[in-house]
Amino acid sequence: MPGERADVLVIGSGAAGAAVTKRLADKGAKVVCLEQGGWMKPNEYPSTHPDWEIQIRRGAFNFSPNVRRRPEDYPVISKGTHPPDVLMFNAVGGSTIHWTGHFPRLHPSDFRVKTLDGVAADWPIGYHDLERYYDENDREMGVAGLAGDPANPPRPQRPTPPLPLGVLGETIGRGFDKLGWHWWVSDNAIISRDYQGRPACDLHGKCMFGCPIGAKASTDVTYWPKALRKGAVLKTWARVREIAVDKSGRATGAVYYDRDGKVHEQSARVVVVCANGIGTPRLLLHSKSSLFPNGLANSSGLVGKNFMVHPFRFIEGLFDARTDSQDGPFGIPAFSQQFYETDLKRGFIRGYMFQLERSFGPLHHAWGSFVGKPVPWGAAHHEAMRRRFPHVIRVTVLGEDLPEEQNRVELDLVAKDSNGIPAPRVIYGYSGNSLKMLEHARQSAVQALEAAGAIETLDSGVIQPAFHLLGTARMGADPKRSVVNAWNQAHDVPNLFVVDGSCFTTSAGVNPTSTIGALALRCADGIWQRRSEWT
């Protein structure tokens, strides 16, 4: 039987779901959120244990749900010419539990790719539509950074000062200076001073796998305490099977399984799906009915299509001097957007950024680090380890991925989760444009590292991680070419909203979490403005 009817039902408690819930609860709406995982216990994070490197590689905190296989996870089947290694986390806070905390914004040009470069599609909104929401999300989450970057629009003074660059940042910065290339101190959702009851980062360096003190802005320590104080209801261990609709085609709520496998229904006047770029299309495609035989909100046929990640490549430089890249927060000390905008002389469209990243401990380097080059065993082992650790600086390439319909998420015909819901199957391949971009980026990264003094460089080659899950319920003005409108409202279902990475029209060339939070706050305002339409 349906539970007490909510004004708004939110599905997913991560970067989007938490922001939507808190914003609407602040305005007085009765909001219920369903989360298929539970609350994390900080004392269980790998970062609190001496064997943390082993735990994250083999245990219950591995990035991949296919490896960790926690009860709240679901399998992800990967296919295609470049099968993606899908990384996500299911818990209160979603994948903000184990992210780096890097918090850049999209550029104004990212919303106008079709107009500027003749590819993909323009967003139905622009940077100015999100600017105030970016600022508000920064304040809610807590950000460390430095205003004044000439490569990006002006923004207010950051809520807390920048995190220390360390030897790593200072060293690579000298290399970029020598080449005359842009670089800037990164915005990170990791506070450098005490902020809103949370302690400042203590620089212990393992926070990518859960911050035990709450300095990193996972939404379980930022948005959720505030939302719950405002009366929001968060139901954990609630795996949603489908979104229910009435005879008129309006969403009425969601059917979900509790931890014991019992079926429940939560009714609501408005439903907001925030289940990430794979979980959201999976749910919409599974929510079939006589009115929506091809899946909910899918008259365009684009639910699950245009799956985007970000082309990645890791380049590591070995230096004579210690770089101590294992020390400090695992955020991004600095970045460069020297090659961000299109320059056709490079042989590809759009561009990429460099993230100057820290690394992990000695075991990680022995295993081969991010470049997949293990230290040899035997007589040369100790000499090779001394050469690498702690003498590495890593440059991560993050490029823009253009939407292509053949890159997609669909329901698998065989694999299911523990409640019998079909697993998602992700089919993906890098485009020729992406491969050209990655090769240009490799050459540029080597140039920067050598300018900084690297005596040797190591290259991961083309890799297929899927940290950022985007585009599978895209935003647009044309119902035939998009799933949701400029306010994240489904074209086909007036009281259904989708706001997470799936709504991205294009991927841009930066991490998406800051933009996801800003879109969520704006979507919540749009829902509230239309509250007279709630029935």
Q: Which helix (H) or strand (E) holds 68?
A: helix 65-68
Q: Which tokens sit at 510?
A: 């930066």
Task: Report the percentage of the chain scoring pLDDT > 70.
Answer: 99
For 223, phi and psi rounded to 5 degrees?
Answer: -70, -40
Mean pLDDT of the chain: 95
CA 232 vs. chain centroid, Å, equals: 24
CA distances to 261, 327, 333, 336, 371 from 171, rounded to whole Å, are: 54, 15, 12, 14, 20
312-318 vs 465-466, strand pairing mode: unpaired
> Which secondary structure element, helix H or strand E, spans residue 147, and what is its range?
none
- Give the angle subtended at the CA of 518 by the CAs of 513 and 519, to the nearest 5°: 95
DSSP 3-state percent helix, strand, coil across the chain (nearest 5): 30, 20, 50
Q: Between the CA atoms of 421, 96, 34 and 296, what dihedral angle is there, to the nearest 10 degrees? A: -50
- CA separation for the pair 163, 145 (Å, rounded): 7
Please name every residue paired with 270 in a beta bridge, in sequence order, or none if there are none: 8
Q: Is residue 47 part of a domain?
A: no
Do 139 and 22 contact (CB within 8 A), yes or no? no
Q: Give the tokens for residue 426.
A: 């992700």
| Span 4-52, pLDDT tens digits | 899 999 999 999 999 999 999 999 999 999 999 999 999 888 888 888 8
Instruction: Grade residue 191 by pLDDT with cuts at 50, 70 and 90.
Output: very high
| pLDDT, tens digit, 9 for 90 and up, residues 269-310 | 999 999 999 999 999 999 999 999 999 999 999 999 999 999
- Span 500-527, mean pLDDT? 98
Beta-carbon contacts of 262 under 8 Å, excluding residues fewer than 6 positions away, are none
Largest CA distance in the chain: 75
Predicted confidence (pLDDT) at residue 350 exceeds the cutoff of 70: yes
Per-residue confidence band for 530, with pLDDT thresholds at 50, 70 and 90:
very high
Confidence at residue 52, expressed as pLDDT on a 0 to 100 scale = 83
Query: By percentage, how much of the chain surpasses pLDDT 90?
Result: 85
Whether 46 maps to a domain, the answer reads no
Q: What is the pTM of this model?
A: 0.97
**Residues 377, 381: Cα–Cα separation, whole Å:** 5
| DSSP strand pairing (312-318 vs 456-459) | antiparallel
CA distance readout (Å), 361 to 98, 357, 368, 369, 370:
17, 14, 11, 9, 12
Average pLDDT rounded to a whole number, residues 359-388: 89
Which pLDDT value is given to residue 2?
57
pLDDT beyond 70 at 1: no
| Lowest mean per-residue pLDDT among 92-101, 134-143, 176-185, 271-280 | 92-101
What pLDDT shows up at residue 296? 98
425/347 Cα distance (integer angstroms): 32
Q: Does position 370 have pLDDT exceeding 90, yes or no?
A: no
Please count the other Cβ atoms lying within 10 Å of the Cβ belonging to residue 179.
17
| Exposure of 193 in the CB half-sphere (CA atoms within 13 A) | 6
In this prediction, residue 3 carries a pLDDT of 64
What's the distance, CA 367 to chain centroid?
26
Two tokens, residue 236: 């954990």
Task: Tell me: pLDDT of 505 over 70.
Answer: yes
Scan for tokens 């909100």, then name that residue.
Answer: 297
Could you tell me the CA-to-CA distances from 446 to 77, 170, 441 in Å, in that order?
34, 17, 9
Domain count, the chain: 1
Q: In CATH, what number is assigned to the domain containing residue 383? A: 3.50.50.60
Answer positive or negative: Cα dihedral of 332, 188, 112, 517.
positive
Q: Which of 138, 141, 173 is nearest to 155 (CA)?
A: 138
Does the residue 48 lie in any domain? no
What is the mean pLDDT of the segment spanning 57-67? 86
Q: Residue 51 CB: number of other CB atoms within 10 A?
A: 11
Distance, in Å, from the CA atom of 174 to the CA atom of 185, rounded to the nearest integer, reads 13
pLDDT(53) > 90: no
Q: Please count the CA atoms within 13 angstroms of the CA of 442 that sit on its side-chain side.
A: 18
Residue 116, domain extent: 6-41+53-533
On the question of a cis peptide bond just before residue 161, with omega within 30 degrees of 0, the verdict is no
**Contacts with 337 (C-beta within 8 Å, 6 or more apart), sequence order:** 151, 152, 182, 184, 351, 353, 354, 509
What are the phi and psi torsion angles at 496 (to 5°)?
Answer: -115, 130
* Amino acid 330: pLDDT: 78
3-class DSSP string for 265-284 = EEEEEEEEECCHHHHHHHHH
Distance between CA atoms of residues 261 and 484, nearest Å:
32
What is the spatial order of strands in the sheet that 352-357 belongs to? 184-185, 334-336, 352-357, 392-399, 312-318, 456-459
Which pLDDT belongs to residue 467?
A: 83
Examine residue 1 and state whether it is found in any structural domain, yes or no. Answer: no
pLDDT digits (tens, 9 = 90+) for 443-502: 999 999 999 999 999 999 998 878 899 999 999 999 999 999 999 999 999 999 999 999
137, 517 in Cβ contact below 8 A?
yes
Higher-confidence residue of 56 and 351: namely 351
